[in-house]
Structure 1
Amino acid sequence: MKPIARLVCWLLLLLCTTAFSQEGLTDGIAGKAHPRLLLAKGEEAQVQSAIGKNPDLERVHGLLLEASDRICAAAPLEHKKTGKRLLSVSREAIRRIFFLSYAWRMTGNKKYRDAAEQQLLTISSFADWNPTHYLDVAEMTMAAAIGYDWLYNELSPDSRKKIKDAILEKGIRTSFDTKYNYWLKVENNWNQVCNAGLAYGAFAVFESDPQLCGAVISRAVESIRIPMKQYAPDGAYPEGYGYWSYGTTYNVFFLDALEQLTGGDQGLSALPGFLKTADYFQHMIAPSGLPFNYADSGPGAESNGAMLWFAKKLKRPSLAWNELQFLHSDKNRRALEGDRFLPTLLLWGKQLAEAGVTPPEKTFWEGRGASPVVMMRTGWTNPDALFMGFKAGSPFVNHAHMDEGSFVFEAEGVRWAMDFGMQNYESLESKGLNIWQRTQNSQRWTVFRYTNYAHNTLTFDDSLQRMEGVTAITQYGDRPEFSFAQSDLSPVYKGQVKRAVRGVALKDKAYGLIQDEIETGDHPVHMQWRMLTSATVEITSSNEVLLKKNGKTLRMQILADQPVTLKTWSTAPVNDYDAPNPGTVLVGFEAQLPAASSKRFVVRLVPENNASKVDAKTVPLRDWK
């Protein structure tokens, strides 16, 4: 057979195989009655039963109804972009439609149905869903899909047609335009969000165009494997806490629908690291309730319904521990009402009525991957417990900062060592900055919050960390009396020092320890050791600093092989586009390191009440066991 003939046969076989797999995958969807997404017809009784047995779920139900009443009186949504994004409108559309649709299904009150229908018609009348920033389309399609499916039997034929046409034309069909669908091949949250949002549209209107919708669903099954591979091997999400909540939640939405409507998830949940990622997210929350917010994450936590999906999937109710703690605090009420996915706490958490949720058992978690992290703590139920979060990785990772070797530290309910997290993108893009170019000289690295200058790490000769550098967790131990992690940070300081290794630890359940061992090359080096804090700072001697906050005191004690100069640095904006950072300061020390030298620097972070428990002896990193 000639090569061209073989190619034609291969293409025909591929097309036939793809068509067969699509048909087999989506065979039964058209025959499933509406509503069929998330909460199938008749399952309302399960939610009602759970609400009656679990006070936490009852509180969420009440919040949803109260918020839905306010949405009924809200002004209509408008097609109004912020910079290049319509995203805030898409997200508010999900919140309004999801809340109102839930309220209608659980109460039968027609005011919620009518308000939801009006919201659906409003977004369906938009000229477009902003495909030039495709997340906007994906989230708007998700909003329309949930409302269309959940209200299907109540919508007039005219409304049903308008909403269905919008899902197909403004959502699904635009995803086949190569100007907009680059996300099909990327390995970050865009892939997860866009595939899931479009697939929900396809699941909702499947019977209207089975071939087109089947193609969307089959395409999503293959495409979403790309970002899901990033969870390997241990579940650490490269983009950090905030984007885990975004990308993984949408990933779970997709798997949930796929399993519910096709009988399986095509092996996706079995991909290495994916089911382990629930432990990553759980351990990212410190005793204060704040997250370890490295990279482009916000400073606050949230209650995430996806964790209840994992709890059910893995038959581990303790995975819901943090989510329920979040519900117990009245100060989180506003955050809960603003959470567009709040109903998932009930949809995926209805099994909690039958299972006791106990605290997690493990106090140490280590995860490899593109952004390796370690989290350690002295307990889950004591709000005064110690917590240390430590990260390695590379500034090249999507949404990463120059924060390799950075840490956060808590004791006695206070976050003493903190991270700014992200700066609002529009505040930078509106000033003409390209913050998405990942090169050493990118404008991204002119933003103060993104650099090593603003993180709890090292700086040599006032230089930035190196973009091409990749660091790992090289050693760790989880003994309760000495839990620790180490990373060789030398790759991100290439050309600056010969070797830089950092270890962090919790010692005797009493204090934190940060130890750096630095080797210089053929030239002297000016070193800065910085820690970001919102505490008040007082330098009391040549080797001790007092930090005070909320009536608590922390002693920062510095031991070094050579003299150091303790000091503070301002966090005031460096450029007119930098965000203000009120109430914060950088504290630490600087030292002049001779050429061809090896130096050790030890910093103890000691809560005042544990000052008598400090071990005066220091041990080289190689002997940490």
Structure 2
Amino acid sequence: MKPIAHMICWLLFLLGTPAFSQKNMMDGVSGKAHPRLLLTNGEEAQVKLAMDRNPDLRRVHQLLLDASDRICAAAPLEHKKIGKRLLSVSREAIRRIFFLSYAWRMTGNKTYRDAAVQQLLTISSFADWNPTHYLDVAEMTMAAAIGYDWLYNELSPDARTKIKDAILEKGIRTSLDSKYNYWLRVENNWNQVCNTGLAYGAWAIYESAPEQCSQVIRRAIESIKIPMKQYAPDGAYPEGYGYWSYGTTYNVFFLDALEQLTGSDEGLSALPGFLKTADYFQHMITPSGLPFNYADSGPGAESNGAMFWFAKKLKRPSLAWNELQYLHNDKNKRALEGDRFLPTLLIWGKQLAAAGVTPPEKTFWEGGGASPVVMMRTSWTNPDALFLGFKAGSPFVNHAHMDEGSFVFEAEGVRWGMDFGMQNYESLESKGLNIWLRTQNSPRWTVFRYTNYAHSTLTFDDSLQRMEGVTAITRYGNRPEFSFAQSDLLPVYKGQIKQAVRGVALKDKAYGLIQDEIETGDHAVNMQWRMLTPADVEVKSSNELVLKKNGKTLLMQVVSDQPVTVKTWSTATATDYDAPNPGTVLVGFETKLPASGKKRFVVRLVPENNASKVDAKIVPLKDWR
């Protein structure tokens, strides 16, 4: 461990701020009784009242109790890493301790209390919390902090000392070691998760080590501003749906505790774009209930208590709409029981229980930033509604793929144009691939799912998109009869073509429209237009394909004065590290573009029942209004 003086000098160098004022944090924490994090003493009655008024919250409560019963009978946690990660153990520790502590506080059943204490003592006895992969430490510290705070008055002096010492030695003090704390300077989810986990540990044991705890909390207030700047200007989270759930949820944990304990979040929630991000996340859920899962996101949706926090903060109950729809679906029961943060639905949702949660009003959302996106739909309440999500940005963004210009499309409850999303990291790392090196020739771009070959976008001469390219949403419009967005994609195809502009639209609330205008340079270019789909595909004619899924039919019509060959591509690969992709296929067309030419390609995605509504007129992208 570094000497205290060395640690203080290092922190001052990092933050460039005056010496920490111990009094600042003492004013916020000292003297506050446990439990003081998330759900303070006496607030259990508010949760119970909310359950009485809202059957959805009552169902969550029962799920928590049922899951807690199973946790009581589960084998103890073990310090077992998967590859370089202890993360799955840390996350299970949060789930067990959070659930059991909640169950104890809400029922007074000592079985839950005793099981929670045993879980806390188990993780406290681990030799370490794996600081070489610091997310593991952060989440384990979070688990220990919640349990220590919520069960403080029930812990024996010996148990209290063991848990406190573990938080201090395995958590807080390792975060002051420069070998492990590079995350203080990064702009991604690591910063949010690690700062929050350590701050919760500091808030929980503040009285035991006020000087070091104050340092950790003040450091977090400054450091967490770095990733929070990524929400500007409109709230679009660069890393996509899955990592929004991770990074933003932890960010909300931090703001919630900071304001609860000190009376202020020090202006953090007012940083540009942060409060707007609730709309981004809400629009990411499609009519089928699935997420727009670009980048390293999984294919499924999940519950998110942070949306209840935003709804409360912004006094907009409709922000909880998707979360309640998720709770209504019995198919999500198992996923809910696996959600380590499930109690937050009750903690942050208790004030909304009596409010009417109505569907959102806006059916169009556009956001800039590092990964600009546009999302448009025809309805929030009709499960057969049309949805079109469109992405720009750069492959260089953290967790990004070579998916610039890609889209997802839904109609009649079917996702016709899809995205694979992430591949399990350990499945690649165990084969020796460094998937985190972000250069043009990185091993990351040998993984099929990460490339433009596997996304609903363009490919020229079988080449990868350019790593350094940055694309933006250049134009968009939102009229009921014509919602659209456009992007100049040339930056990711530099050296391959002279110009490439893509426009996507929902036309007359009846069908999707993908229009590309391509200009070549001094040589001919082979172009491939692909859409990834889970449907069965039949070639109907030289310019039309039929897609079938779940008893529904979609017509894909290609219109161009340039000859094309409609075709499909397999999603199977020959490598031993690519994930299998059963039940999927790439569909589209291929064409040879002449040198020094300008060509336009229009693809209509038409649900069978809307075939009569197709407008045959083609409008140049520059004239889209």
Q: TM above 0.5, one fold?
A: yes
1:19 is aligned to 20
Structure 1 position 63 matched with structure 2 position 63: yes
Q: Counterpart of 1:585 in structure 2: which amino acid?
A: V
Alignment of 1:479-558 (within 5 A): 479-558=479-558
For the residues of structure 2 that align with 1:381 and 1:387, how far apart are their CA atoms? 12
1:99 is aligned to 99
1:131 is aligned to 131
For the residues of structure 1 that align with 2:291 and 2:223, how far apart are their CA atoms? 30
For the residues of structure 2 that align with 1:573 and 1:192, how far apart are their CA atoms? 36
User: Does the aligned pair in 1 maintain the 2:77–2:122 contact within 8 Å?
Assistant: yes
For the residues of structure 2 that align with 1:138 and 1:574, how far apart are their CA atoms? 38
Q: Counterpart of 2:555 in structure 1: which amino acid?
A: R
1:197 is aligned to 197
TM-aligned CA deviation for residue 19 of structure 1 = 2.5
* Superposed CA offset, 1:558-609 (max 9, x none): 0012110001000002311000000000000000000000000000000001
Secondary structure at 1:220 match in 2: helix
For the residues of structure 2 that align with 1:328 and 1:573, how far apart are their CA atoms? 38
2:6 is aligned to none
1:147 is aligned to 147
Of 23-32 and 461-470, the range deviating more from structure 2: 23-32
2:4 is aligned to none
TM-aligned CA deviation for residue 66 of structure 1 = 0.2
For the residues of structure 2 that align with 1:339 and 1:37, how far apart are their CA atoms? 19
Secondary structure at 1:51 match in 2: helix
For the residues of structure 1 that align with 2:44 and 2:17, how far apart are their CA atoms? 41
Alignment of 1:340-351 (within 5 A): 340-351=340-351
For the residues of structure 2 that align with 1:25 and 1:90, how far apart are their CA atoms? 28
TM-aligned CA deviation for residue 353 of structure 1 = 1.6
Structure 1 position 308 matched with structure 2 position 311: no
Alignment of 1:315-326 (within 5 A): 315-326=315-326
Q: Counterpart of 1:372 in structure 2: which amino acid?
A: P
Alignment of 1:208-247 (within 5 A): 208-247=208-247
User: Does the aligned pair in 2 maintain the 1:141–1:197 contact within 8 Å?
Assistant: yes
* Superposed CA offset, 1:508-555 (max 9, x none): 000000000000000000000000000000011001000000000000
User: Does the aligned pair in 1 maintain the 2:20–2:218 contact within 8 Å?
Assistant: no
Structure 1 position 369 matched with structure 2 position 369: yes
TM-aligned CA deviation for residue 619 of structure 1 = 0.4
User: Does the aligned pair in 1 maintain the 2:418–2:533 contact within 8 Å?
Assistant: yes
For the residues of structure 1 that align with 2:602 and 2:186, how far apart are their CA atoms? 41
User: Does the aligned pair in 2 maintain the 1:287–1:383 contact within 8 Å?
Assistant: yes
User: Does the aligned pair in 1 maintain the 2:63–2:337 contact within 8 Å?
Assistant: yes
Structure 1 position 405 matched with structure 2 position 405: yes
For the residues of structure 2 that align with 1:296 and 1:177, how far apart are their CA atoms? 30
Of 140-149 and 24-33, the range deviating more from structure 2: 24-33
User: Does the aligned pair in 1 maintain the 2:437–2:444 contact within 8 Å?
Assistant: yes
* Superposed CA offset, 1:341-375 (max 9, x none): 00000000001222100000000000000000000
Structure 1 pair 195–16 and aligned structure 2 pair: CA distance change class (3 A): closer
TM-aligned CA deviation for residue 16 of structure 1 = 9.3
For the residues of structure 1 that align with 2:511 and 2:28, how far apart are their CA atoms? 58
Q: Counterpart of 1:18 in structure 2: which amino acid?
A: A
2:433 is aligned to 433
For the residues of structure 1 that align with 2:574 and 2:374, how far apart are their CA atoms? 31
TM-aligned CA deviation for residue 291 of structure 1 = 0.2
1:571 is aligned to 571
For the residues of structure 2 that align with 1:406 and 1:23, how far apart are their CA atoms? 52
TM-aligned CA deviation for residue 377 of structure 1 = 0.1
For the residues of structure 2 that align with 1:479 and 1:585, how far apart are their CA atoms? 33
TM-aligned CA deviation for residue 30 of structure 1 = 1.8
TM-aligned CA deviation for residue 15 of structure 1 = 9.4
Structure 1 pair 90–255 and aligned structure 2 pair: CA distance change class (3 A): same
1:419 is aligned to 419
For the residues of structure 2 that align with 1:616 and 1:354, how far apart are their CA atoms? 50
Identify unmatched segments of 5+ residues in structure 1. 1-7
Q: Counterpart of 1:44 in structure 2: which amino acid?
A: E
Structure 1 pair 559–260 and aligned structure 2 pair: CA distance change class (3 A): same
TM-aligned CA deviation for residue 276 of structure 1 = 0.1
Report runs of 4+ in structure 1 exceeding 2 Å deviation.
14-20
Secondary structure at 1:394 match in 2: coil
Structure 1 position 359 matched with structure 2 position 359: yes
Secondary structure at 2:353 match in 1: helix
User: Does the aligned pair in 1 maintain the 2:428–2:577 contact within 8 Å?
Assistant: yes
User: Does the aligned pair in 2 maintain the 1:54–1:352 contact within 8 Å?
Assistant: no
Q: Counterpart of 2:454 in structure 1: which amino acid?
A: A
For the residues of structure 2 that align with 1:457 and 1:336, how far apart are their CA atoms? 34
For the residues of structure 1 that align with 2:144 and 2:573, how far apart are their CA atoms? 41
TM-aligned CA deviation for residue 132 of structure 1 = 0.1
Secondary structure at 2:331 match in 1: helix
Secondary structure at 1:23 match in 2: helix
Q: Counterpart of 2:438 in structure 1: which amino acid?
A: R
Q: Counterpart of 1:541 in structure 2: which amino acid?
A: S
For the residues of structure 2 that align with 1:595 and 1:15, how far apart are their CA atoms? 56
Of 501-510 and 567-576, the range deviating more from structure 2: 567-576
Q: Counterpart of 1:422 in structure 2: which amino acid?
A: M
Structure 1 pair 16–57 and aligned structure 2 pair: CA distance change class (3 A): closer
Structure 1 pair 277–462 and aligned structure 2 pair: CA distance change class (3 A): same
For the residues of structure 2 that align with 1:379 and 1:26, how far apart are their CA atoms? 50
Q: How many residues align?
A: 614
Secondary structure at 1:453 match in 2: helix
For the residues of structure 2 that align with 1:16 and 1:197, how far apart are their CA atoms? 22
2:394 is aligned to 394
Q: Counterpart of 2:571 in structure 1: which amino acid?
A: T
User: Does the aligned pair in 2 maintain the 1:124–1:162 contact within 8 Å?
Assistant: yes
RMSD: 1.2
Q: Counterpart of 1:289 in structure 2: which amino acid?
A: G
For the residues of structure 2 that align with 1:130 and 1:49, how far apart are their CA atoms? 41
User: Does the aligned pair in 2 maintain the 1:460–1:525 contact within 8 Å?
Assistant: yes
For the residues of structure 2 that align with 1:351 and 1:261, how far apart are their CA atoms? 19
1:328 is aligned to 328
TM-aligned CA deviation for residue 28 of structure 1 = 3.1
Secondary structure at 1:18 match in 2: coil
User: Does the aligned pair in 2 maintain the 1:448–1:574 contact within 8 Å?
Assistant: no
Q: Counterpart of 2:430 in structure 1: which amino acid?
A: S
1:4 is aligned to none
2:113 is aligned to 113
For the residues of structure 2 that align with 1:427 and 1:354, how far apart are their CA atoms? 46
For the residues of structure 2 that align with 1:575 and 1:198, how far apart are their CA atoms? 40
TM-aligned CA deviation for residue 118 of structure 1 = 0.3
Secondary structure at 2:28 match in 1: coil
1:611 is aligned to 611
For the residues of structure 1 that align with 2:501 and 2:144, how far apart are their CA atoms? 51
Alignment of 1:72-87 (within 5 A): 72-87=72-87
For the residues of structure 1 that align with 2:70 and 2:576, how far apart are their CA atoms? 38
Secondary structure at 1:401 match in 2: coil
Structure 1 pair 26–489 and aligned structure 2 pair: CA distance change class (3 A): farther
2:175 is aligned to 175
For the residues of structure 2 that align with 1:386 and 1:453, how far apart are their CA atoms? 25
Output the TM-score relative to the length of structure 1: 0.97
Secondary structure at 2:503 match in 1: strand
Secondary structure at 2:453 match in 1: helix
For the residues of structure 2 that align with 1:124 and 1:538, how far apart are their CA atoms? 59
User: Does the aligned pair in 2 maintain the 1:26–1:262 contact within 8 Å?
Assistant: no
Q: Counterpart of 1:514 in structure 2: which amino acid?
A: I
Q: Counterpart of 1:19 in structure 2: which amino acid?
A: F
